[in-house]
Chains A and B, each alone.
Chain A
């Protein structure tokens, strides 16, 4: 069964840091582009970051550039999101998503999400 499981969310103070993890199973992880998408309370979905299969290409939404870093460990079937200088507006459920192979961008498999709350 294809599965993505996120972890690492929690309560953090403004200016703090957090590292999210997403462990995958059921497919050949190293063959897939991976992404993080978030949903703030009462808001819509927002793409956050994406990473190429070999880690050579990273892309970020403007609002997190310079503060968030996406990375992966293909040996551990894991993708990460290192978040620093966190702001209240980063409060959201963060989803890990697999980019559909052969389609260049749609996201066909999603994790259940991990909640990040930035508050003092």
Chain B
């Protein structure tokens, strides 16, 4: 099974900060990686697919990069609506999510 590990688990930041979340796969997943935003009581929101492709309608302050086993999600200037938990997901072999990164207000 492919394991996905995110770091950090919690990230404290302020509005306007540049934020980077890392996701590592236990084996090569090429670029079969997606990112989601999750808020309590809400459905997950799809942000990025194939590691770096921004889904339509997602603000351009979000970006993704990486391939193979290491990936990053970057928010260039954190906005109030961005405080949430972020998950990476591999889909080269079935589906596995990372454990999540909680972006909280500093």
Binding site for B on A (CB under 8 A): 35, 37, 39, 44-47, 50, 59, 61-62, 95, 97, 100, 103-113
Partner of B43, one of A46, A47, A103, A112: A112
Size of chain B's interface in residues, with CB distance under 8 A?
25
Given contacts A105-B32, A105-B91, A44 and B46 within 8 Å (CB-CB): no
Residues of B within 8 A of A (CB): 1, 32, 34, 36, 38, 42-46, 49-50, 55, 85, 87, 89, 91-92, 94-100
Q: How far apart are B48's CB and chain A's nearest CB, in angstroms?
A: 8
Q: Pick the most buried of B32, B38, B95, B97: most chain A CB atoms within 10 A of its CB.
A: B95
Q: Is the CB of B89 within 8 A of A44?
A: no
Tell me how far the C-beta of A1 lies from the nearest C-beta in chain B, rounded to whole angstroms.
13
Instruction: Determine whether the beta carbon of A47 is less than 8 Å from that of B46.
Output: no
B94→A47 contact, CB < 8 A: yes
| With contact pairs A105-B32, A106-B89 given, residues A46 and B46 touching in the complex (Cβ less than 8 Å) | no
Nearest-CB distance from B98 to chain A (Å)? 7
Q: Point out the residues of chain A lying under 8 angstroms from B42, CB to CB.
A: 112
Residues of A within 8 A of B32 (CB): 104-105
Give the docked Cα–Cα distance between A100 and B55 (Å): 10
**A105 pairs with B46, CB closer than 8 A:** no
Q: Which residues of B contact A108 (CB under 8 A)?
A: 46, 49, 55
Closest to B46 in A: A108
Q: In the assembled complex, how far is the CB of residue B4 from the closest CB belonging to chain A, in whole angstroms? A: 10
Residues from chain A with Cβ under 8 Å of B99 in the complex: 44
